[in-house]
Amino acid sequence: SQQGEEDPQALSIQEGENATMNCSYKTSINNLQWYRQNSGRGLVHLILIRSNEREKHSGRLRVTLDTSKKSSSLLITASRAADTASYFCATDGEYGNKLVFGAGTILRVKS
Amino acid sequence: DTGVSQDPRHKITKRGQNVTFRCDPISEHNRLYWYRQTLGQGPEFLTYFQNEAQLEKSRLLSDRFSAERPKGSFSTLEIQRTEQGDSAMYLCASSPERNTDTQYFGPGTRLTVL
């Protein structure tokens, strides 16, 4: 079963604009991760934020985590056409032995 | 570090046939995971191994599915008597013992059952 939901389901922006995706989850977590998936391919790990962290940066990515609201956001700044992909948040399972993914946000960056 | 590899990348089969997929994890990663992803959804956990021991199986893994990792290196996932509902992308991931938080995914095997 899916842990949570991403919002929006799909997002279309112009190159150079910022893209924000949100993720909600249901249970307590140790960490939350974001992955990218290009069409029909495997997932690429982007960033991990631990439950005691509120914000984390990596290059053009900024992730926030609000454990009181059980939600996270991923911001991609100065988007590029190559950022076109599906983005998934994933939380660790009850014993940290598996990842539980949301349904994903499809991002399209138009050049 | 050559990454996780999966074989085949695509498989088309007829309903009722058996299929087997292979996953080669990153060298020295002792954890190996299998996930299934259907169109428009995120991956769903199927099972995972620590070395050769299969430690957890999802309820999604019906008795038609079996996974092995006999020597603690590569793994195989077999589906017997395939059904059209088995059509999906099957993803393998691995993680090292020192950091099991992050999983590294392979390119997946796309199964189509006709």
CA distance A9 to A22: 10
DSSP A35-71: EEE-TTS-EEEEEEEETT-SEEEETTEEEEEETTTTE
State pLDDT tens for residues B55-102.
999 988 889 999 999 988 999 999 999 999 999 999 999 999 888 888
CA distances from B52 to A94, B31, B80 (A): 22, 9, 22
B2, pLDDT greater than 90 = no
> Quick check: A52 contacting B, CB < 8 Å?
no
Which of residues B1 and A92 earns the better pLDDT score? Answer: A92
Residue A92: the pLDDT is 87
Looking at residue A1, what is its pLDDT? 46
Contact list in B for residue A85 (CB cut-off 8 A) is none
Best of B31, B32, B37 to substitute, by most chain A Cβ atoms within 10 angstroms, is: B37
**Cβ neighbours of B91 in A, within 8 Å:** 42-43
Residue contact B108–A2, C-beta within 8 A: no
Which residue in B45, B101, B105 is closest to A48 by CB distance? B101
User: pLDDT band at residue A72, thresholds of 50, 70 and 90?
Assistant: very high
pLDDT of residue A83: 97
Shortest alpha-carbon distance between residue B100 and chain A (Å): 8
Q: What average pLDDT score do residues B24-41 get?
A: 94
- Distance between CA atoms of residues A94 and A8, nearest Å: 26
